[in-house]
Structure 1
Amino acid sequence: MNEAIGGLPSDFSDHYPELARHEGLMAAILATAAEHGLDLGDEPRAPEPDGAPTIAQFDSPRGTMKVDLLRTERGFDITLYSNRGWLSCWADGTTADLAEATRVLAAWKHGATVTGLSQRFPFMTYTRLSQGYDEGNQVTVMWDLQIGDPKFAQYRELLIALRSEPRLAQMFPFFSMWTLRLAKDSLRKQPGQLLIQQNDDGSYFLWSSSETEENKHEFHHLNDLVTAAATLQTTL
Protein backbone atom coordinates (compact mmCIF):
# COMPACT_ATOMS: atom_id res chain seq x y z
CA MET A 1 0.00 0.00 0.00
CA ASN A 2 1.30 3.44 -0.82
CA GLU A 3 2.27 5.52 2.20
CA ALA A 4 1.51 9.20 2.71
CA ILE A 5 2.37 11.80 5.33
CA GLY A 6 3.14 10.52 8.79
CA GLY A 7 3.00 6.90 7.60
CA LEU A 8 -0.76 7.10 7.00
CA PRO A 9 -2.30 5.11 4.15
CA SER A 10 -2.70 7.12 0.96
CA ASP A 11 -6.46 6.49 0.84
CA PHE A 12 -6.68 8.44 4.10
CA SER A 13 -4.55 11.36 3.00
CA ASP A 14 -6.40 11.58 -0.30
CA HIS A 15 -9.26 13.21 1.62
CA TYR A 16 -6.93 15.94 2.87
CA PRO A 17 -4.61 17.40 0.22
CA GLU A 18 -3.93 20.32 2.58
CA LEU A 19 -2.02 18.01 4.92
CA ALA A 20 0.37 16.89 2.19
CA ARG A 21 0.82 20.49 1.06
CA HIS A 22 1.50 21.83 4.55
CA GLU A 23 2.95 18.67 6.16
CA GLY A 24 0.34 18.31 8.88
CA LEU A 25 -2.96 19.58 10.19
CA MET A 26 -1.49 22.16 12.57
CA ALA A 27 0.45 23.81 9.74
CA ALA A 28 -2.59 23.62 7.44
CA ILE A 29 -4.79 25.41 10.00
CA LEU A 30 -2.17 28.09 10.61
CA ALA A 31 -1.80 28.67 6.87
CA THR A 32 -5.59 28.87 6.48
CA ALA A 33 -5.81 31.35 9.35
CA ALA A 34 -3.18 33.55 7.72
CA GLU A 35 -4.90 33.32 4.34
CA HIS A 36 -8.24 34.44 5.78
CA GLY A 37 -6.89 36.99 8.25
CA LEU A 38 -7.89 34.97 11.31
CA ASP A 39 -6.06 35.38 14.61
CA LEU A 40 -5.31 32.22 16.56
CA GLY A 41 -2.97 34.02 18.95
CA ASP A 42 0.75 34.28 19.40
CA GLU A 43 1.20 32.41 22.68
CA PRO A 44 2.68 28.89 22.66
CA ARG A 45 0.23 26.25 21.51
CA ALA A 46 -0.27 22.79 22.91
CA PRO A 47 1.93 20.33 20.98
CA GLU A 48 0.48 17.73 18.66
CA PRO A 49 0.37 14.40 20.53
CA ASP A 50 3.39 12.33 19.45
CA GLY A 51 3.82 14.70 16.54
CA ALA A 52 0.75 13.23 14.81
CA PRO A 53 0.05 15.20 11.59
CA THR A 54 -3.67 14.47 11.80
CA ILE A 55 -4.29 16.20 15.14
CA ALA A 56 -4.01 19.89 15.99
CA GLN A 57 -4.43 21.56 19.38
CA PHE A 58 -4.59 25.24 20.26
CA ASP A 59 -4.89 27.02 23.59
CA SER A 60 -7.79 29.28 24.49
CA PRO A 61 -8.72 31.08 27.72
CA ARG A 62 -11.50 28.55 28.25
CA GLY A 63 -9.58 25.36 27.50
CA THR A 64 -7.85 23.43 24.72
CA MET A 65 -9.29 23.51 21.21
CA LYS A 66 -8.67 20.25 19.36
CA VAL A 67 -9.19 19.23 15.74
CA ASP A 68 -9.06 15.58 14.59
CA LEU A 69 -9.56 14.14 11.11
CA LEU A 70 -12.21 11.61 10.14
CA ARG A 71 -10.74 8.54 8.47
CA THR A 72 -13.41 7.21 6.15
CA GLU A 73 -14.51 10.56 4.72
CA ARG A 74 -13.39 14.15 4.72
CA GLY A 75 -14.22 15.83 8.00
CA PHE A 76 -12.57 18.07 10.58
CA ASP A 77 -13.82 17.00 14.00
CA ILE A 78 -13.67 19.95 16.43
CA THR A 79 -13.81 19.67 20.22
CA LEU A 80 -13.72 22.71 22.46
CA TYR A 81 -12.59 21.35 25.80
CA SER A 82 -13.40 23.15 29.04
CA ASN A 83 -11.20 24.21 31.94
CA ARG A 84 -14.23 25.30 34.00
CA GLY A 85 -15.45 23.27 36.96
CA TRP A 86 -17.10 19.95 36.12
CA LEU A 87 -17.70 20.86 32.47
CA SER A 88 -15.51 18.73 30.19
CA CYS A 89 -16.55 20.11 26.80
CA TRP A 90 -18.09 23.41 25.70
CA ALA A 91 -19.13 22.34 22.20
CA ASP A 92 -18.18 20.00 19.38
CA GLY A 93 -18.96 19.38 15.73
CA THR A 94 -17.63 18.33 12.34
CA THR A 95 -17.22 20.18 9.05
CA ALA A 96 -15.61 19.25 5.73
CA ASP A 97 -14.41 22.83 5.22
CA LEU A 98 -10.98 23.61 6.68
CA ALA A 99 -11.57 27.37 6.49
CA GLU A 100 -14.83 26.93 8.40
CA ALA A 101 -13.09 24.83 11.06
CA THR A 102 -10.43 27.50 11.40
CA ARG A 103 -13.08 30.20 11.78
CA VAL A 104 -14.64 28.19 14.65
CA LEU A 105 -11.30 28.14 16.47
CA ALA A 106 -10.74 31.86 15.96
CA ALA A 107 -14.28 32.77 17.05
CA TRP A 108 -14.05 30.68 20.21
CA LYS A 109 -10.56 31.96 21.00
CA HIS A 110 -11.84 35.52 20.89
CA GLY A 111 -14.83 35.05 23.17
CA ALA A 112 -17.78 33.73 21.16
CA THR A 113 -20.57 32.30 23.32
CA VAL A 114 -21.74 28.73 22.80
CA THR A 115 -25.09 29.97 21.53
CA GLY A 116 -23.48 32.52 19.21
CA LEU A 117 -21.03 29.92 17.93
CA SER A 118 -23.83 27.46 17.14
CA GLN A 119 -25.87 30.14 15.38
CA ARG A 120 -22.92 31.02 13.17
CA PHE A 121 -21.76 27.42 12.71
CA PRO A 122 -24.85 25.18 13.04
CA PHE A 123 -22.76 22.00 13.01
CA MET A 124 -21.33 22.98 16.41
CA THR A 125 -23.55 21.63 19.18
CA TYR A 126 -23.54 22.27 22.92
CA THR A 127 -25.35 21.11 26.06
CA ARG A 128 -27.55 22.91 28.55
CA LEU A 129 -24.77 22.64 31.09
CA SER A 130 -22.18 24.22 28.80
CA GLN A 131 -24.63 27.07 28.13
CA GLY A 132 -25.13 27.38 31.88
CA TYR A 133 -21.41 27.69 32.52
CA ASP A 134 -21.14 30.17 29.65
CA GLU A 135 -23.93 32.32 31.09
CA GLY A 136 -22.83 31.94 34.72
CA ASN A 137 -25.95 30.11 35.95
CA GLN A 138 -24.46 26.60 35.95
CA VAL A 139 -25.65 25.80 39.48
CA THR A 140 -29.31 26.46 38.67
CA VAL A 141 -29.02 24.53 35.40
CA MET A 142 -27.38 21.54 37.08
CA TRP A 143 -30.14 21.29 39.70
CA ASP A 144 -32.70 21.36 36.89
CA LEU A 145 -30.82 18.69 34.96
CA GLN A 146 -30.44 16.34 37.91
CA ILE A 147 -34.04 16.71 39.05
CA GLY A 148 -35.33 16.17 35.52
CA ASP A 149 -33.04 13.25 34.61
CA PRO A 150 -35.05 9.99 34.37
CA LYS A 151 -31.91 8.10 35.37
CA PHE A 152 -32.11 9.71 38.80
CA ALA A 153 -35.89 9.53 39.20
CA GLN A 154 -35.55 7.63 42.48
CA TYR A 155 -33.58 10.58 43.90
CA ARG A 156 -36.02 13.26 42.73
CA GLU A 157 -37.72 13.74 46.10
CA LEU A 158 -34.32 14.00 47.77
CA LEU A 159 -33.02 16.50 45.22
CA ILE A 160 -36.11 18.70 45.43
CA ALA A 161 -35.93 18.73 49.24
CA LEU A 162 -32.24 19.65 49.23
CA ARG A 163 -32.75 22.38 46.66
CA SER A 164 -35.51 23.93 48.78
CA GLU A 165 -32.90 24.79 51.42
CA PRO A 166 -31.26 28.09 50.30
CA ARG A 167 -27.78 27.23 51.58
CA LEU A 168 -27.81 23.89 49.76
CA ALA A 169 -29.34 25.35 46.59
CA GLN A 170 -26.12 27.34 46.14
CA MET A 171 -24.10 24.12 45.89
CA PHE A 172 -23.36 22.22 42.66
CA PRO A 173 -25.04 18.78 42.61
CA PHE A 174 -23.70 15.75 40.75
CA PHE A 175 -23.61 11.98 41.11
CA SER A 176 -20.52 9.80 41.36
CA MET A 177 -20.88 6.05 41.86
CA TRP A 178 -24.54 6.64 42.78
CA THR A 179 -23.55 8.92 45.61
CA LEU A 180 -24.94 12.45 45.45
CA ARG A 181 -22.28 15.10 45.88
CA LEU A 182 -22.94 18.76 46.59
CA ALA A 183 -19.86 20.79 45.74
CA LYS A 184 -19.15 24.05 47.49
CA ASP A 185 -17.70 25.64 44.34
CA SER A 186 -19.02 24.90 40.85
CA LEU A 187 -15.73 26.20 39.38
CA ARG A 188 -13.63 23.84 41.56
CA LYS A 189 -11.45 26.66 42.81
CA GLN A 190 -12.36 25.87 46.41
CA PRO A 191 -12.56 22.36 47.87
CA GLY A 192 -15.42 21.00 49.93
CA GLN A 193 -18.31 18.64 49.22
CA LEU A 194 -21.24 17.08 50.99
CA LEU A 195 -21.88 13.41 50.17
CA ILE A 196 -25.26 11.75 50.49
CA GLN A 197 -26.23 8.11 49.98
CA GLN A 198 -29.88 7.10 49.69
CA ASN A 199 -30.44 3.58 50.97
CA ASP A 200 -33.00 1.01 49.85
CA ASP A 201 -34.74 1.12 53.23
CA GLY A 202 -35.43 4.86 52.86
CA SER A 203 -32.67 6.00 55.18
CA TYR A 204 -29.80 8.30 54.24
CA PHE A 205 -26.12 8.64 55.01
CA LEU A 206 -24.50 12.07 55.11
CA TRP A 207 -20.85 13.07 55.46
CA SER A 208 -18.46 15.71 54.17
CA SER A 209 -15.34 15.43 52.03
CA SER A 210 -13.24 16.21 55.10
CA GLU A 211 -14.65 13.13 56.88
CA THR A 212 -14.13 9.44 56.20
CA GLU A 213 -17.01 7.15 55.27
CA GLU A 214 -16.74 5.62 58.73
CA ASN A 215 -18.04 8.96 60.04
CA LYS A 216 -21.28 8.81 58.10
CA HIS A 217 -24.32 10.29 59.83
CA GLU A 218 -27.50 8.22 59.38
CA PHE A 219 -30.96 9.77 59.01
CA HIS A 220 -34.36 8.17 58.66
CA HIS A 221 -36.34 11.30 57.83
CA LEU A 222 -35.69 13.54 54.86
CA ASN A 223 -36.33 16.77 56.76
CA ASP A 224 -33.74 15.80 59.35
CA LEU A 225 -31.23 15.07 56.61
CA VAL A 226 -31.79 18.45 54.95
CA THR A 227 -31.38 20.31 58.23
CA ALA A 228 -28.18 18.43 59.04
CA ALA A 229 -26.79 18.95 55.53
CA ALA A 230 -27.41 22.70 55.75
CA THR A 231 -25.56 22.81 59.09
CA LEU A 232 -22.68 20.70 57.76
CA GLN A 233 -22.41 22.97 54.73
CA THR A 234 -21.32 25.85 56.94
CA THR A 235 -18.25 23.87 58.05
CA LEU A 236 -16.85 23.30 54.58
Structure 2
Amino acid sequence: MNAISTGNYLKRDLRSMFAVRNNCISEETAFCKQDNLHQSLNTLNEEFESFGISSVTINNDLQTLESLKDLSIQVTNAAWKMIHKHRYLMRLHDQLIDLNHKTVNDNVNLKNYVKRLKEDIQKKEHMICKTEEKERRLNVKCEDASRNLKQERDEIRKLKKQIQFKETQHEHEIRRITQSSQKLQEQLRKSAGSFTPKDKLLQKIHEKELISYKQTICRLEENNRHMLEEINNLKEALELHQTGIALHIEASGAWTNADI
Protein backbone atom coordinates (compact mmCIF):
# COMPACT_ATOMS: atom_id res chain seq x y z
CA MET A 1 0.00 0.00 0.00
CA ASN A 2 2.94 2.34 0.63
CA ALA A 3 4.16 1.91 -2.94
CA ILE A 4 0.68 2.66 -4.29
CA SER A 5 0.40 5.75 -2.11
CA THR A 6 3.82 6.96 -3.24
CA GLY A 7 2.88 6.48 -6.88
CA ASN A 8 -0.34 8.37 -6.37
CA TYR A 9 1.51 11.24 -4.77
CA LEU A 10 4.09 11.30 -7.57
CA LYS A 11 1.32 11.56 -10.13
CA ARG A 12 -0.30 14.52 -8.50
CA ASP A 13 -0.35 17.66 -10.55
CA LEU A 14 0.50 20.47 -8.18
CA ARG A 15 -0.48 23.09 -10.70
CA SER A 16 -3.97 21.62 -11.03
CA MET A 17 -4.25 21.52 -7.24
CA PHE A 18 -3.27 25.16 -6.96
CA ALA A 19 -5.63 26.00 -9.79
CA VAL A 20 -8.53 24.39 -7.96
CA ARG A 21 -7.54 26.21 -4.80
CA ASN A 22 -7.33 29.51 -6.66
CA ASN A 23 -10.79 28.96 -8.10
CA CYS A 24 -12.15 28.39 -4.61
CA ILE A 25 -10.46 31.44 -3.10
CA SER A 26 -11.49 34.85 -4.30
CA GLU A 27 -9.08 37.65 -5.06
CA GLU A 28 -10.05 39.47 -1.89
CA THR A 29 -8.83 36.52 0.20
CA ALA A 30 -5.60 35.94 -1.79
CA PHE A 31 -2.60 35.24 0.43
CA CYS A 32 0.02 37.30 -1.41
CA LYS A 33 -0.40 40.60 -3.25
CA GLN A 34 1.98 43.23 -4.46
CA ASP A 35 1.35 45.45 -1.49
CA ASN A 36 1.97 42.69 1.12
CA LEU A 37 4.78 40.77 -0.58
CA HIS A 38 7.25 41.24 2.29
CA GLN A 39 4.66 40.27 4.88
CA SER A 40 3.64 37.19 2.88
CA LEU A 41 7.28 36.13 2.50
CA ASN A 42 7.84 36.49 6.25
CA THR A 43 4.74 34.39 6.97
CA LEU A 44 5.90 31.82 4.43
CA ASN A 45 9.34 31.70 6.08
CA GLU A 46 7.70 30.93 9.41
CA GLU A 47 5.86 28.01 7.83
CA PHE A 48 9.08 26.79 6.19
CA GLU A 49 10.92 26.91 9.50
CA SER A 50 8.12 24.96 11.22
CA PHE A 51 8.75 22.15 8.71
CA GLY A 52 12.51 22.34 9.13
CA ILE A 53 13.07 24.06 5.76
CA SER A 54 15.53 26.90 5.33
CA SER A 55 13.82 30.27 5.12
CA VAL A 56 13.90 32.46 2.03
CA THR A 57 16.31 35.40 2.09
CA ILE A 58 14.37 38.60 1.47
CA ASN A 59 16.23 41.53 -0.06
CA ASN A 60 15.01 45.02 0.46
CA ASP A 61 15.27 45.72 -3.24
CA LEU A 62 12.80 43.51 -5.09
CA GLN A 63 12.49 45.74 -8.12
CA THR A 64 15.40 44.34 -10.10
CA LEU A 65 15.09 41.25 -12.24
CA GLU A 66 18.04 39.50 -10.59
CA SER A 67 16.60 39.89 -7.12
CA LEU A 68 13.23 38.58 -8.29
CA LYS A 69 14.92 35.60 -9.98
CA ASP A 70 16.88 34.82 -6.86
CA LEU A 71 13.75 35.08 -4.73
CA SER A 72 11.83 32.88 -7.17
CA ILE A 73 14.55 30.23 -7.08
CA GLN A 74 14.60 30.22 -3.27
CA VAL A 75 10.82 30.05 -3.05
CA THR A 76 10.73 27.27 -5.67
CA ASN A 77 13.36 25.21 -3.85
CA ALA A 78 11.63 25.73 -0.51
CA ALA A 79 8.28 24.80 -2.05
CA TRP A 80 9.84 21.68 -3.58
CA LYS A 81 11.24 20.67 -0.21
CA MET A 82 7.84 21.27 1.37
CA ILE A 83 6.20 19.11 -1.29
CA HIS A 84 8.61 16.26 -0.53
CA LYS A 85 8.06 16.85 3.15
CA HIS A 86 4.32 16.68 2.58
CA ARG A 87 4.66 13.47 0.57
CA TYR A 88 6.79 11.93 3.29
CA LEU A 89 4.26 12.91 5.95
CA MET A 90 1.41 11.54 3.83
CA ARG A 91 3.26 8.25 3.37
CA LEU A 92 3.90 8.15 7.10
CA HIS A 93 0.22 8.90 7.69
CA ASP A 94 -0.81 6.06 5.38
CA GLN A 95 1.62 3.74 7.13
CA LEU A 96 0.16 4.71 10.49
CA ILE A 97 -3.35 4.09 9.16
CA ASP A 98 -2.29 0.66 7.87
CA LEU A 99 -0.58 -0.06 11.17
CA ASN A 100 -3.69 1.02 13.04
CA HIS A 101 -5.88 -1.24 10.88
CA LYS A 102 -3.47 -4.11 11.43
CA THR A 103 -3.46 -3.43 15.16
CA VAL A 104 -7.26 -3.39 15.23
CA ASN A 105 -7.40 -6.68 13.32
CA ASP A 106 -4.77 -8.18 15.60
CA ASN A 107 -6.76 -7.06 18.64
CA VAL A 108 -9.92 -8.64 17.23
CA ASN A 109 -8.07 -11.88 16.48
CA LEU A 110 -6.46 -11.79 19.90
CA LYS A 111 -9.84 -11.30 21.60
CA ASN A 112 -11.29 -14.20 19.63
CA TYR A 113 -8.28 -16.34 20.52
CA VAL A 114 -8.60 -15.42 24.20
CA LYS A 115 -12.31 -16.25 24.03
CA ARG A 116 -11.54 -19.66 22.53
CA LEU A 117 -8.89 -20.25 25.19
CA LYS A 118 -11.38 -19.38 27.93
CA GLU A 119 -13.90 -21.79 26.43
CA ASP A 120 -11.24 -24.51 26.24
CA ILE A 121 -10.27 -23.83 29.86
CA GLN A 122 -13.91 -24.05 30.95
CA LYS A 123 -14.32 -27.35 29.08
CA LYS A 124 -11.14 -28.74 30.61
CA GLU A 125 -12.17 -27.58 34.08
CA HIS A 126 -15.53 -29.29 33.55
CA MET A 127 -13.74 -32.47 32.43
CA ILE A 128 -11.44 -32.26 35.46
CA CYS A 129 -14.47 -31.93 37.77
CA LYS A 130 -16.11 -34.97 36.13
CA THR A 131 -12.85 -36.93 36.38
CA GLU A 132 -12.44 -36.00 40.05
CA GLU A 133 -16.03 -37.06 40.73
CA LYS A 134 -15.43 -40.39 38.96
CA GLU A 135 -12.22 -40.85 40.93
CA ARG A 136 -14.07 -40.12 44.18
CA ARG A 137 -16.77 -42.66 43.33
CA LEU A 138 -14.14 -45.24 42.37
CA ASN A 139 -12.34 -44.62 45.65
CA VAL A 140 -15.60 -45.16 47.53
CA LYS A 141 -16.21 -48.38 45.57
CA CYS A 142 -12.65 -49.53 46.25
CA GLU A 143 -13.06 -48.82 49.95
CA ASP A 144 -16.36 -50.72 50.00
CA ALA A 145 -14.80 -53.59 48.06
CA SER A 146 -11.82 -53.69 50.43
CA ARG A 147 -14.11 -53.69 53.43
CA ASN A 148 -16.30 -56.42 51.93
CA LEU A 149 -13.24 -58.44 50.98
CA LYS A 150 -11.91 -58.20 54.53
CA GLN A 151 -15.28 -59.31 55.90
CA GLU A 152 -15.42 -62.21 53.45
CA ARG A 153 -11.88 -63.26 54.33
CA ASP A 154 -12.74 -63.14 58.03
CA GLU A 155 -15.84 -65.22 57.32
CA ILE A 156 -13.77 -67.74 55.35
CA ARG A 157 -11.26 -68.00 58.19
CA LYS A 158 -14.12 -68.65 60.59
CA LEU A 159 -15.56 -71.31 58.29
CA LYS A 160 -12.15 -72.95 57.94
CA LYS A 161 -11.77 -73.03 61.71
CA GLN A 162 -15.25 -74.51 62.04
CA ILE A 163 -14.46 -77.12 59.40
CA GLN A 164 -11.18 -78.00 61.08
CA PHE A 165 -12.95 -78.22 64.44
CA LYS A 166 -15.73 -80.38 62.96
CA GLU A 167 -13.23 -82.62 61.20
CA THR A 168 -11.27 -83.05 64.42
CA GLN A 169 -14.50 -83.70 66.30
CA HIS A 170 -15.57 -86.10 63.57
CA GLU A 171 -12.29 -88.01 63.80
CA HIS A 172 -12.65 -88.29 67.58
CA GLU A 173 -16.25 -89.36 67.20
CA ILE A 174 -15.32 -91.96 64.60
CA ARG A 175 -12.64 -93.35 66.89
CA ARG A 176 -15.10 -93.38 69.78
CA ILE A 177 -17.78 -95.06 67.65
CA THR A 178 -15.25 -97.57 66.38
CA GLN A 179 -14.09 -98.34 69.88
CA SER A 180 -17.69 -98.57 71.14
CA SER A 181 -18.61 -100.80 68.22
CA GLN A 182 -15.67 -103.04 68.93
CA LYS A 183 -16.63 -103.23 72.60
CA LEU A 184 -20.26 -103.97 71.73
CA GLN A 185 -19.23 -106.64 69.26
CA GLU A 186 -16.98 -108.15 71.90
CA GLN A 187 -19.80 -108.09 74.43
CA LEU A 188 -22.17 -109.61 71.88
CA ARG A 189 -19.66 -112.30 71.12
CA LYS A 190 -19.19 -113.03 74.80
CA SER A 191 -22.93 -112.93 75.40
CA ALA A 192 -23.54 -115.22 72.45
CA GLY A 193 -20.90 -117.62 73.76
CA SER A 194 -22.40 -117.69 77.26
CA PHE A 195 -26.00 -118.05 76.08
CA THR A 196 -27.84 -121.27 77.08
CA PRO A 197 -31.24 -122.06 75.55
CA LYS A 198 -32.37 -123.66 78.78
CA ASP A 199 -32.75 -120.41 80.58
CA LYS A 200 -35.50 -118.36 78.88
CA LEU A 201 -35.11 -115.48 81.30
CA LEU A 202 -31.49 -115.09 80.38
CA GLN A 203 -32.48 -115.35 76.74
CA LYS A 204 -34.88 -112.40 77.08
CA ILE A 205 -32.28 -110.35 78.89
CA HIS A 206 -29.78 -111.19 76.22
CA GLU A 207 -32.23 -110.19 73.50
CA LYS A 208 -32.91 -106.86 75.24
CA GLU A 209 -29.20 -106.17 75.57
CA LEU A 210 -28.69 -107.09 71.94
CA ILE A 211 -31.48 -104.72 70.87
CA SER A 212 -30.01 -101.98 73.07
CA TYR A 213 -26.58 -102.51 71.56
CA LYS A 214 -28.00 -102.35 68.05
CA GLN A 215 -29.92 -99.17 68.85
CA THR A 216 -26.77 -97.60 70.28
CA ILE A 217 -24.84 -98.53 67.14
CA CYS A 218 -27.62 -97.06 64.97
CA ARG A 219 -27.58 -93.83 66.98
CA LEU A 220 -23.82 -93.60 66.67
CA GLU A 221 -24.01 -94.21 62.93
CA GLU A 222 -26.79 -91.60 62.62
CA ASN A 223 -24.70 -89.08 64.56
CA ASN A 224 -21.77 -89.86 62.32
CA ARG A 225 -23.92 -89.30 59.24
CA HIS A 226 -25.17 -85.95 60.59
CA MET A 227 -21.62 -84.84 61.30
CA LEU A 228 -20.56 -85.77 57.77
CA GLU A 229 -23.50 -83.81 56.35
CA GLU A 230 -22.61 -80.81 58.51
CA ILE A 231 -18.98 -80.93 57.34
CA ASN A 232 -20.13 -81.12 53.71
CA ASN A 233 -22.45 -78.16 54.26
CA LEU A 234 -19.59 -76.14 55.74
CA LYS A 235 -17.38 -77.01 52.78
CA GLU A 236 -20.13 -75.96 50.35
CA ALA A 237 -20.59 -72.68 52.24
CA LEU A 238 -16.83 -72.10 52.08
CA GLU A 239 -16.81 -72.72 48.33
CA LEU A 240 -19.76 -70.33 47.88
CA HIS A 241 -17.94 -67.62 49.84
CA GLN A 242 -14.79 -68.11 47.81
CA THR A 243 -16.76 -67.96 44.54
CA GLY A 244 -18.61 -64.83 45.73
CA ILE A 245 -15.35 -63.10 46.60
CA ALA A 246 -13.85 -63.98 43.22
CA LEU A 247 -16.92 -62.64 41.39
CA HIS A 248 -16.95 -59.50 43.53
CA ILE A 249 -13.27 -58.83 42.81
CA GLU A 250 -13.75 -59.46 39.09
CA ALA A 251 -16.77 -57.12 38.97
CA SER A 252 -15.10 -54.30 40.87
CA GLY A 253 -11.93 -54.48 38.77
CA ALA A 254 -9.87 -53.42 41.77
CA TRP A 255 -7.80 -56.61 41.94
CA THR A 256 -6.87 -59.35 39.50
CA ASN A 257 -5.78 -62.06 41.92
CA ALA A 258 -7.09 -62.59 45.44
CA ASP A 259 -4.82 -64.32 47.90
CA ILE A 260 -7.27 -65.99 50.26
Instruction: Answer whether TM exceeds 0.5 for this pair.
Output: no
Provide the TM-score with structure 1 as the length reference.
Answer: 0.18
Q: Which has the higher strand share?
A: 1
Q: Which has the higher helix share?
A: 2
Whichever of the two has the greater Rg, that structure is 2
Q: Which has the higher contact order (CA 8 A, sep 6+)?
A: 2
